[in-house]
Chains A and B, each alone.
Chain A
Amino acid sequence: MPEAAAVGSGPLLALEAVTKRFPGVTALDAVDLSVAPGRVHALVGENGAGKSTLLKIVAGAQRPDAGKLLLAGREVRFAAPRDALKAGVTVMYQELSLVPQLSAEANIFLGMEPERRGVLDRRTARARAQDALRALGAEFDPGILASDLSVAEQQLVELARALVRDARLIALDEPTAALSQVEAGRLFEQVRGLCGRGIAVIFVSHRLEEVRRIAEDVTVLRDGRRVFSSRIAAVSDAELIRHMVGRDVEYARLNAAAAPAAVPRLEVRGLTRRGHFTDVSLALRRGEIVGLAGLVGAGRTEVARCVAGADRSDGGTMLLSGAPYRPRSPREAIRRGVVYLPEDRKTQGLVLGMSVRENVTLATLERYSRRGVIRRRTEREAAARETAAVDLRPPEIEREAGTLSGGNQQKVVLAKWLLADADVLIFDEPTRGVDVATKVDLHRQVRALADAGKAILVISSELPEILALADRIVVMREGRVAGALEAAGATAERVLELALPGAHAA
């Protein structure tokens, strides 16, 4: 890092007590961070720890509610991503932000196209794009369409974009998630090259092994707080994991009232959906809650969607009470009693513009209609009964679903499926965006459903939730089942070890 030191002895980027609140949650709580020029600073933490919010604030996509950002010692306020780019700060998001219909070169200069007398200066653009790409070891022509490039190549385009803008800080959000090992290795070489030019790098990753390979410094975020910062050489994986899972909130363990049925209600054998998950097997028994743990992107939601008929699988078999089960649509799955409560209630669970009543009866309307005409009184009664059963507060069934809080929205979705007499319920992140009191309430309801004889699968990225709720825990990693644990022997550390790719915790 020869020249880098000359820039100044202090950090290139410093966050001081940065706080960001969203309705109902504090995403970042007085977070400090200090990133030195010419070094790679890893940012680790569980899902929802606040990493993406932090990146968005660095990128100018969101503004902090309190605290300040210092760039090379001077306070900066980014009103928009444009300001951050001008100041030399580039963020490469996991979903790359290239325009697929434009060439690599056009993408590199998007928003700052070189012009001569108002006309695009294509020769200069081509030359500079070529220089930047060559500096990154890219072997493709700048004229190629972005959509024709591999993910690894597209990342190089993004990095080249940062280079032509004279970036001083580059933040990478899970850059290796979609890369092969070889590609990841090449990317690391380029990242090191960037550091050699004195550029500071923020590297967000789940993979501790990678973090160890590339980063000099590490910061752990948990529940929106910075809980740990250190030089990476000075800390073990086990210690990092402990910082990641240590929690202030613990939920009371909810045990089953009786032993589950012996015969599985749902059995999944070797289920595969190409490009999403491979050879997944699990069994759900009546009276039992199975937790499906894993990192975001491990394939848990994809498995759930296949089981619920929302997507098709490519291989494997499923059995419902021993009978073959291969749903071609959610309709068919619902008819067989299998339902899915999606993670994103707003876009998949509810029709926000409709009332609670209309949402609750959406899946069962034929029961409340005669020759296609809705019997309004019976519909109202059913909706009122079922919303009372899930303890919707306030119990206003004519209220528009979009105006409800997250917890109440979840209850409306639940009421819909209880009304449909579903007995295999798949909850995907059931308490995301829900306040703690409602969380506990929902946990109790889920347990009560299991005790009433339903078979339940709970997907959750929140380890305490899985640990409190599940009778058995199946852990997925990179599209495969990494292991299964009985609730009795499960600890957060043990689950995370299985979930993290390449972790070698003691």
Chain B
Amino acid sequence: MRAPRLARFGVPLVLAGLVVVSGILIPGFMSRSNLTTILLHVSINGIITLGAVYVIITAGIDLSVGSIVGFAGVLTAATLTSGAVLHLLGPVGAAVLAGVVGVAAGAAVGLLNGGVVAWLGVAPFIVTLATMTAARGAARLVTGGIPVGYPDPSDPMQAQKIAALNALHTVGGGRLPMPGLPTGFPVPALVMLAIVALGGFVLVRTRFGRHVYAVGGNEEASRLSGVAVGRVKLATYVISGACAGVAAVLLVGQLRSGGPDAGMLYELNAIAAAVIGGTSLFGGIGTAWGALTGALLIGVLNNGLDLLGVPSFWQEIAKGVIILLAVLFDVWMKKADARRRAQAGRAAAGG
């Protein structure tokens, strides 16, 4: 009921099929290290997609997440390598504070998005298009257009800064030792799985989650039922922004620097993954599980095509085709759903 029956099972089935076929056709695909690599590569997009799913279920859209990754990333990197902060907190403390700053920066942009959407009634597409542009500009303004983070050899605090970058790298690029996995399990993938699990729990088991579906399913009925529609919408944009903030922190940790141009087009990858994962752009339908499978489907496809040596240009075309199929599938499901409903209605009226 959260998603039409076929959508709920269709995408996981396609994903499973793709994994099996790739496993047979592509040597090395099924190796544990390759599978964990896929998870690692998917994690940033997976986290952003989870946030996107919240917004899209309310029939909104968030185009600003890519720019948030850039904006929150440079603030994270700047905090991490700030002399004052390092003096005060030391490298590990700076890493913690930088993480908080990154997530908070993302949430703050989300708050702005949500506030304008919910209280001023501006179309989400326009609002987030504006913050997408503005956040990117702010990221470039703060940094003068060049990445921040890695210190000059001449920097008197070089050692501490590198220590701080390394501290955050244990999150963004770290591996957790795991029996049977010589390379260990990538921390970002763990973060993604945790966020998806939490996000799924909130959607399905909490009052807030129920309201998210209700607002997307029928805003007017929700309002007349006493649901605080504005607050619910606002919260979804904050969640989306915060998820992008988490992604930014992981990315800075991984790369040991924050670039103002980081995260370009991430919003489109997230929307693509959400849609492939069965989230309906019309609102009311979508799951955290779908966010994960959608992101994984893209990841597996990219990885498989990579291993096969397919040029990246072709990969882009393949991804485009898949997105289109997913949307067609969504539209088709809607129609089938409406037909089913009409039939049930007739049967009920007749009998």
Contact = CB atoms under 8 A, between A and B. Distances in A.
Contacts, number: 106
A321 interface: no
A435 B224 CA distance: 26
Contacts of A369: 206-207
Contact of B341 (A355, A363, A403): A403
Contacts of B341: 352, 400, 402-403
A402 B346 CA distance: 12
Contacts of A310: 223-224
In this complex, the member of B226, B227, B228, B285 whose beta carbon has the largest number of chain A beta carbons within 10 angstroms is B226
Interface in B197-228: 205-208, 210-211, 213-214, 217-218, 220-228
B228 A331 contact: yes
A351 B349 contact: no
B1 A354 contact: yes
B334 to A, nearest CB: 10
Given A351-B218, A354-B213, A374-B206, A406 B349 contact: yes
Given A347-B218, A402-B341, A363 B226 contact: yes
Contacts of B225: 330, 334, 362-363, 416
Contact of B218 (A352, A366, A408): A352
A363 B223 CA distance: 10
A451 interface: no
A348 B217 CA distance: 11
Nearest to B217: A351
Given A365-B210, A405-B345, A331 B226 contact: yes
A366 B206 CA distance: 10
A324 B211 CA distance: 30
Secondary structure dominating the interface of B: helix
Nearest to B227: A362
Contacts of B220: 347-348
Contact of A403 (B206, B227, B228, B345): B345
Contacts of B344: 403-404
Given A369-B207, A374-B206, A349 B221 contact: yes
A308 B228 CA distance: 15
Contacts of A275: none
A347 B221 contact: yes
Contacts of B218: 347-348, 350-352
A405 B207 contact: no
A370 to B, nearest CB: 10
B327 to A, nearest CB: 18
Interface string B337-349: 0001110111011
B66 to A, nearest CB: 30
A373 interface: yes
Contact of B210 (A335, A352, A362): A362
Interface string A409-424: 0000000100010000
B284 interface: yes
Nearest to B214: A351
Nearest to A404: B348
A310 B225 CA distance: 10
Interface string A293-337: 000000000000000101000000000000000000111001100
Nearest to A305: B224
A416 B344 CA distance: 22
B227 to A, nearest CB: 7
Given A373-B205, A374-B206, A374-B210, A352 B217 contact: yes
Q: Which of B211, B228, B341 has the most CB of A within 10 A?
A: B341
Interface in B218-271: 218, 220-228
Nearest to B4: A353
Contacts of B284: 351, 353
Contacts of B227: 331, 362-363
Contacts of A331: 226-228
Nearest to B228: A331
A403 B1 CA distance: 12
B308 to A, nearest CB: 40
Nearest to B208: A372
A483 interface: no
Interface centre among A310, A330, A408 (most CB of B within 10 A): A330
A358 interface: yes
A277 interface: no
B207 A23 contact: no
B325 to A, nearest CB: 23
Given A310-B223, A334-B226, A23 B1 contact: no
B53 to A, nearest CB: 16
Nearest to B347: A405
A270 interface: no
A427 interface: no
A442 to B, nearest CB: 15
Contact of A23 (B206, B223, B342): B342
Contacts of A351: 213-214, 217-218, 221-222, 284
Closest 10 CB pairs of A and B: A405-B348, A24-B349, A403-B344, A351-B217, A331-B226, A334-B226, A363-B225, A351-B218, A23-B346, A365-B207
Interface of B: 1, 205-208, 210-211, 213-214, 217-218, 220-228, 284-285, 340-342, 344-346, 348-350
17 contacts: A24-B346, A330-B225, A330-B226, A331-B227, A334-B225, A351-B214, A353-B285, A354-B213, A354-B214, A369-B207, A372-B206, A372-B207, A374-B205, A374-B207, A374-B210, A403-B348, A404-B348
Interface of A: 23-24, 308, 310, 329-331, 334-335, 340, 342, 347-355, 358, 362-363, 365-366, 369, 372-374, 376, 398, 400, 402-406, 408, 416, 420, 435
